[in-house]
Structure 1
Amino acid sequence: MKTSPAAPAAHVDRLLADVIQLLGRPLPPEYERALRTVPRHLFLPDRLWLRDGEGGYRACDRSADPDGWLTAAYTDTPLVTQFTDGLPSSSASMPSMVLRTLLLAGIGDAGREARPPRVLELGTGTGFNAALLCTILGDDAVSTVELDPVLAARGEGNLEAAGFAPALSCGDAAAGWPSGAPYERVVATFSVDRVPSAWVEQTVPGGRIVTPWTSAWCRYGTLALTAGRDGTAHGRFHAFASFMPMRRPCQDTAGPAAAPAQHKGVTSLSPWLVAGGDLDAEFHLGLAVPGASFAWDITGEHAPTRLHIADDEGPSWAAVDYDGRCADRFAVIQAGPRLLWDEITAGYTRWETLGRPRIGQYRLSVNTAGDHTLRVETGRGSTGITIPEKLSRPSGPSGSSGSRWSSWSGRPGL
């Protein structure tokens, strides 16, 4: 059995209890062994950023607060480990979400297979997830890819210090890792808004692909696919996890566009219905209105409360204003070639017509051309959903944090 520097027993016991409580069931023995074997604190930098309860982060330094830092290391919570351009760009995910993703991928079935499945991890990050995989499956079964050279070197150092040696490569995870293919399991540690074709191509028939999901509107959900013999993949979404989006190599971006003409109107659809925290509605809108993101403005500059909507790749935007008095009629401004509020209204109406489906009712298929086809299972059977073309095209360069309007508040109440 591989040996590594021990984790503090009391801290691990508390972490295990928190993980089991959140998952609602005991962990398989190999998972509990992995969580006890892999010392999480060895995979964290000396400075962490923790949620401050007000929408921001506070720094936690090991040198200044060693007890607080160690407690954070063994708390079932995400820990930001890197900022880029003032925004979070890498994090250590919640251990419970890491383990739940591995369970969904069928990693827990390893002991019942003839040999350990070959696993491709996409996004090495701190190396903690790769270490768990190595503990469960063995080093030879695990390959991991990291885009950021700094993170790749740091992750490799963390793994070596803890006594693990998976095959680690530095490259664009969207391309998978052909030299180690094919794989029985492909597991991403970041979220995507489409499944790269390379992932399907590098997965054996019957193999599993598991990745957190994102859209500009809603970063939530996990997709689990099974690869077919014909080069396709089919599966469904699961209602858990919110991960940072996939980062891509830097690309040139277009310069600023001319200010678009504005159109004013009135709506009876409450902005809180589409952006107030109903994850089922927001998940649907993320699929139905690709590229549209939102942020709440409660500065009072334009209205007591404004929902601002933007096209992440174009000049279009919209604003829905609550005047502080009337909660059934809201002023709307739309600008640009996309009438974003009209798209949001149509998407929300469609979601209601379908019976307000939950995230787990959505199924996704990917064909050999990389096209994505959605169906939603309702009480009336299965219904196809048209995916706008924007969702089917390759993702452009993505950041690693939330809305570009992050200085504003999130989801205020009436």
Structure 2
Amino acid sequence: MTTSHQDRRALRDMLRKSGVLTPDWGAAFEVVPRHLFLPEVMWPSTEEGHTAVSRIHDPDGWWHWANADVPIVTQWDDGTHLGLRHGVLATSSSSMPTAVFSMFAELLVFEGAKVLEIGTGTGWCAALLSARLGERNVVSVEIDEEVADTARRSLAAAGWHPEIVVGDGLLGSPEHAPYDRVLVTAGVREVPHAWIEQTRPGGVLVMPWGTHYTGQNPLVRLVVNDDGSAGGRFSSAARFMHLRSQRDRRVTRADYVPGDEWPGDTRRSFTDLPVDEVMDDSGYAVFDFVAGLLVPGCVHAHGRTRSGNRTMWLYGLDGPSWAAVFFDEEYSLESRVFQGGPRDLWDEVEAAHRWWTEQGRPRHEEFGLTVTADGRQEVWFREPAVLLPRSEAAPAEAGG
């Protein structure tokens, strides 16, 4: 147990040093330890992937990961997964503490503020908010009844009783509105206007927002206006599980390029764009975010050939368009490009990269999002009046 206390102090000191654990959240951190909201078996995110850690069979490992700054999966495959081996799709988790307190910093709560949380998960965030604001000021919505029940039990055992609502988070919780703050702890691609309608003018919504192109969803802070619109800037990059109704459908190469041969109408070309400019294994690269904004309705995947060279596949969600790029890393020669379907997806990615380079390689903080009073999403560059350019071949999609 001594080691667990040391690990928790080390986590607290790291969060303070990084600046995300501000003095106004210090007391809540101390009285709401994360481990109270973690299951007996959990899957921390490590360099090797997700490995099950059991509190019974590996107590030292369990305590270590409970106090580590990593996300921890607590549910796979919407609860259908059984056993210790990880499942296919992570569907509920305890977010890494750095991400939690970064979101709190953007939320800017105040004494007596009423907060709506979308995505209860383990209940840790709801407990932290309760400790800071009082449990009567916290409403949390969870779509999964089993997850919500587990969170309720953990919260009660820890001495907290905020309002936990089982339902579709897209609808918010109108019966408890209005709110001063809305915190969304799942990735969002389209902002439901219900969240804005249930927030007081001047109120703030904080959420991870992203496109289909990548699993990256930087935090955005939206301020609600008197006319029913809301807008604000992006901040740090992040990766969150998406809202259930906004997950991408799973696509494979066989959906677009069946068989072992290239289709007869395949267009062949070359590119001299270096692989490191368009592929980043960290998942937090700025260009991935920008490509998603400028090449809407597209997902991409990475891979390697048998010889070890990196490849990129692009798939259009609006039809049969696809592209494959085989990067020549050994000799730094032009890389081979294959494209099919009505859109030239790789050409769109190259155009996005040219635009980004010409603008001085802007970072996340130079972009912003507006949700209009009629629910349209508009992404802008540096100023709300400057909307992003878009490809004529790209589909009309939120965020474009």
| Partner residue, 1:358 | 363
| Partner residue, 1:39 | 33
| Partner residue, 2:235 | 238
Query: Quick one: which of 36, 58, 63 aligns to 2:56?
Result: 63
**Do 1:373 and 1:386's aligned partners in 2 also have CA atoms closer than 8 Å?**
no
| Partner residue, 2:275 | 271
| Partner residue, 1:391 | 397
Secondary structure class of the residue paired with 2:186 = coil
Deviation at 1:346, TM superposition (A): 1.5
Q: Which amino acid aligns with 1:286?
A: G
**Do 1:143 and 1:167's aligned partners in 2 also have CA atoms closer than 8 Å?**
yes
Query: Quick one: which of 218, 221, 237 aligns to 2:218?
Result: 221
Distance of 1:252 and 1:323 partners within structure 2: 30
**Do 1:194 and 1:391's aligned partners in 2 also have CA atoms closer than 8 Å?**
no
| Partner residue, 1:90 | 92
Deviation at 1:22, TM superposition (A): 2.7
| Bigger mean CA offset, 221-230 vs 33-42 | 33-42
The Cα RMSD (Å) is 2.7
| Partner residue, 1:339 | 344
Matched, 1:348 2:353: yes
Percent identity at matched positions?
35
Deviation at 1:9, TM superposition (A): 4.2
Matches within 5 A, 1:100-249: 100-107=102-109, 110-111=110-111, 116-218=112-214, 219-248=216-245
Q: Per-residue CA shift, 1:287-309, capped at 9, x if unaligned? A: 111232222212428x7321122
| Partner residue, 1:81 | 74
Deviation at 1:157, TM superposition (A): 1.4
Q: Which amino acid aligns with 1:281?
A: F
Secondary structure class of the residue paired with 1:392 = coil
| Bigger mean CA offset, 225-234 vs 350-359 | 350-359
Under a length normalisation based on structure 1, what TM-score does the superposition of the two structures give?
A: 0.83
Deviation at 1:349, TM superposition (A): 1.5
Gaps of 5+ in 1: 1-6, 394-414
Distance of 1:160 and 1:147 partners within structure 2: 19
Q: 1:356 to 1:304 in 2, by over 3 A?
A: closer
Q: 1:71 to 1:15 in 2, by over 3 A?
A: same
Gaps of 5+ in 2: 78-86
Q: Which amino acid aligns with 1:98?
A: V
Secondary structure class of the residue paired with 2:382 = strand
Matched, 1:28 2:33: no
Q: Which amino acid aligns with 1:193?
A: R
Matches within 5 A, 1:294-313: 294-300=300-306, 304-312=309-317
Q: Which amino acid aligns with 2:99?
A: M
Q: Which amino acid aligns with 2:88?
A: G
Q: Which amino acid aligns with 1:27?
A: T
| Partner residue, 1:396 | none
Q: Per-residue CA shift, 1:98-153, capped at 9, x if unaligned? A: 1120121112xx23xxxx11100000000000000000001110000011122111
Distance of 1:52 and 1:123 partners within structure 2: 23
Query: Quick one: which of 314, 318, 321 aligns to 1:316?
Result: 321
| Partner residue, 2:80 | none
**Do 2:45 and 2:70's aligned partners in 1 also have CA atoms closer than 8 Å?**
no
Matched, 1:292 2:298: yes
Under a length normalisation based on structure 2, what TM-score does the superposition of the two structures give?
A: 0.86
Deviation at 1:250, TM superposition (A): 9.6
Distance of 2:32 and 2:334 partners within structure 1: 55
Distance of 1:196 and 1:171 partners within structure 2: 15
Q: Which amino acid aligns with 1:280?
A: V
Deviation at 1:236, TM superposition (A): 0.5
Q: 1:250 to 1:371 in 2, by over 3 A?
A: closer
Question: How many residues in Structure 1 have an aligned counterpart in Structure 2?
Answer: 375
Secondary structure class of the residue paired with 2:61 = helix
Q: Which amino acid aligns with 1:283?
A: F
Distance of 1:149 and 1:182 partners within structure 2: 24
Distance of 2:139 and 2:146 partners within structure 1: 18
Deviation at 1:284, TM superposition (A): 0.8
